[in-house]
Amino acid sequence: MAEQTVAHAIEGLKESNVRITPQRYAILEFLIEHRSHPTADEIFKALESRFPNMSVATIYNNLRKFVEIGIVQEMSYGDAASRFDFGVQKHYHAICTDCGKIEDFFYPGLEDVEMASSELTGYQISEHRLEVYGVCPNCQKKG
Protein backbone atom coordinates (compact mmCIF):
# COMPACT_ATOMS: atom_id res chain seq x y z
CA MET A 1 0.00 0.00 0.00
CA ALA A 2 2.78 2.47 0.90
CA GLU A 3 4.43 1.86 -2.49
CA GLN A 4 1.12 2.58 -4.27
CA THR A 5 0.73 5.76 -2.25
CA VAL A 6 4.31 6.87 -2.99
CA ALA A 7 3.69 6.18 -6.69
CA HIS A 8 0.48 8.26 -6.55
CA ALA A 9 2.34 11.13 -4.89
CA ILE A 10 5.14 10.92 -7.46
CA GLU A 11 2.50 11.16 -10.21
CA GLY A 12 1.20 14.31 -8.52
CA LEU A 13 4.68 15.79 -8.57
CA LYS A 14 5.19 14.90 -12.24
CA GLU A 15 1.82 16.42 -13.19
CA SER A 16 2.88 19.61 -11.42
CA ASN A 17 6.24 19.57 -13.24
CA VAL A 18 8.17 19.14 -9.99
CA ARG A 19 11.44 17.26 -10.32
CA ILE A 20 11.63 14.10 -8.21
CA THR A 21 14.87 14.35 -6.25
CA PRO A 22 16.08 11.67 -3.81
CA GLN A 23 15.37 14.12 -0.96
CA ARG A 24 11.79 14.75 -2.10
CA TYR A 25 11.22 11.03 -2.49
CA ALA A 26 12.59 10.38 1.02
CA ILE A 27 10.43 13.11 2.59
CA LEU A 28 7.29 11.74 0.93
CA GLU A 29 8.20 8.18 1.87
CA PHE A 30 8.74 9.25 5.50
CA LEU A 31 5.37 11.04 5.64
CA ILE A 32 3.59 8.01 4.19
CA GLU A 33 5.31 5.41 6.37
CA HIS A 34 5.16 7.41 9.62
CA ARG A 35 1.59 8.55 10.05
CA SER A 36 2.57 10.50 13.18
CA HIS A 37 2.03 13.95 11.60
CA PRO A 38 5.68 14.97 12.05
CA THR A 39 7.14 18.46 12.18
CA ALA A 40 9.75 19.50 9.61
CA ASP A 41 12.37 19.19 12.36
CA GLU A 42 11.33 15.60 13.11
CA ILE A 43 11.58 14.74 9.41
CA PHE A 44 15.00 16.39 9.25
CA LYS A 45 16.29 14.40 12.25
CA ALA A 46 15.00 11.15 10.74
CA LEU A 47 16.62 11.78 7.35
CA GLU A 48 19.83 13.64 8.22
CA SER A 49 21.95 10.46 8.34
CA ARG A 50 20.84 9.58 4.78
CA PHE A 51 21.27 13.13 3.48
CA PRO A 52 24.04 14.85 5.50
CA ASN A 53 24.02 17.94 3.26
CA MET A 54 20.27 18.50 3.55
CA SER A 55 19.11 21.40 5.73
CA VAL A 56 15.90 21.98 7.67
CA ALA A 57 15.17 24.74 5.14
CA THR A 58 15.25 22.12 2.36
CA ILE A 59 12.69 20.07 4.28
CA TYR A 60 10.45 23.13 4.78
CA ASN A 61 10.73 24.18 1.13
CA ASN A 62 9.80 20.72 -0.09
CA LEU A 63 6.92 20.41 2.38
CA ARG A 64 5.56 23.79 1.25
CA LYS A 65 5.77 22.58 -2.38
CA PHE A 66 3.87 19.39 -1.45
CA VAL A 67 1.20 21.47 0.32
CA GLU A 68 0.93 23.76 -2.72
CA ILE A 69 0.46 20.74 -5.02
CA GLY A 70 -2.12 19.30 -2.63
CA ILE A 71 -0.52 15.99 -1.65
CA VAL A 72 0.35 17.06 1.91
CA GLN A 73 -1.65 19.00 4.48
CA GLU A 74 -0.04 21.50 6.83
CA MET A 75 -1.55 21.46 10.29
CA SER A 76 -0.77 24.51 12.40
CA TYR A 77 -2.09 24.86 15.91
CA GLY A 78 -1.32 28.24 17.44
CA ASP A 79 2.34 28.84 18.19
CA ALA A 80 3.38 25.19 17.98
CA ALA A 81 5.45 24.06 15.01
CA SER A 82 3.42 23.04 11.99
CA ARG A 83 2.86 19.35 11.53
CA PHE A 84 2.59 17.75 8.13
CA ASP A 85 0.22 15.02 7.05
CA PHE A 86 0.31 13.10 3.80
CA GLY A 87 -3.19 12.77 2.57
CA VAL A 88 -5.18 13.12 -0.55
CA GLN A 89 -8.36 11.76 1.05
CA LYS A 90 -10.27 14.22 3.27
CA HIS A 91 -9.96 13.22 6.90
CA TYR A 92 -10.04 14.68 10.39
CA HIS A 93 -7.84 14.60 13.48
CA ALA A 94 -8.25 13.48 17.08
CA ILE A 95 -5.57 15.11 19.26
CA CYS A 96 -4.51 13.93 22.71
CA THR A 97 -4.39 16.82 25.18
CA ASP A 98 -1.88 14.91 27.35
CA CYS A 99 0.79 13.55 24.97
CA GLY A 100 -0.06 15.44 21.77
CA LYS A 101 -0.54 12.32 19.65
CA ILE A 102 -2.65 12.96 16.56
CA GLU A 103 -4.77 10.25 15.01
CA ASP A 104 -6.60 10.39 11.69
CA PHE A 105 -10.24 9.48 11.39
CA PHE A 106 -12.66 9.46 8.49
CA TYR A 107 -16.24 10.51 8.88
CA PRO A 108 -18.32 10.55 5.72
CA GLY A 109 -20.95 13.22 5.51
CA LEU A 110 -18.99 16.09 7.05
CA GLU A 111 -18.46 17.46 3.55
CA ASP A 112 -22.03 18.74 3.89
CA VAL A 113 -20.69 21.26 6.43
CA GLU A 114 -19.25 23.32 3.58
CA MET A 115 -22.58 23.46 1.73
CA ALA A 116 -24.57 24.23 4.90
CA SER A 117 -22.15 26.94 6.06
CA SER A 118 -22.20 28.50 2.60
CA GLU A 119 -25.99 28.63 2.62
CA LEU A 120 -26.10 30.01 6.17
CA THR A 121 -23.42 32.68 5.73
CA GLY A 122 -23.29 33.46 2.03
CA TYR A 123 -19.56 32.65 2.06
CA GLN A 124 -18.04 30.81 -0.86
CA ILE A 125 -16.43 27.96 1.14
CA SER A 126 -13.23 26.43 -0.22
CA GLU A 127 -12.29 23.99 2.53
CA HIS A 128 -12.76 22.98 6.15
CA ARG A 129 -10.93 21.10 8.85
CA LEU A 130 -12.03 19.43 12.04
CA GLU A 131 -10.06 18.58 15.15
CA VAL A 132 -11.40 16.90 18.24
CA TYR A 133 -9.48 16.96 21.50
CA GLY A 134 -9.39 14.41 24.30
CA VAL A 135 -7.20 11.85 26.04
CA CYS A 136 -5.85 8.94 23.97
CA PRO A 137 -6.19 5.30 25.15
CA ASN A 138 -2.51 5.12 26.22
CA CYS A 139 -2.77 8.24 28.39
CA GLN A 140 -6.08 7.00 29.83
CA LYS A 141 -4.27 3.84 31.01
CA LYS A 142 -1.50 5.94 32.62
CA GLY A 143 -3.95 8.26 34.35
- Is pTM beyond 0.85 here? no
pLDDT score of 2 more than 80: no
Q: What is the pLDDT of residue 78?
A: 61
Q: What is the pLDDT of residue 112?
A: 84
pLDDT score of 111 more than 80: no
Q: What is the pLDDT of residue 1?
A: 46
Amino acid at 138: N
Spatial contact of 131 and 85, defined as CB atoms under 8 Å apart: no
**Domains within the chain, CATH numbers bracketed:** 2-86 (1.10.10.10), 92-142 (3.30.1490.190)
| pLDDT tens for each residue of 73-94 | 888 766 667 888 887 667 788 9
Q: How buried is residue 11: exposed, middle or buried, by Cβ count under 10 Å (0-12/13-18/19+)?
A: exposed
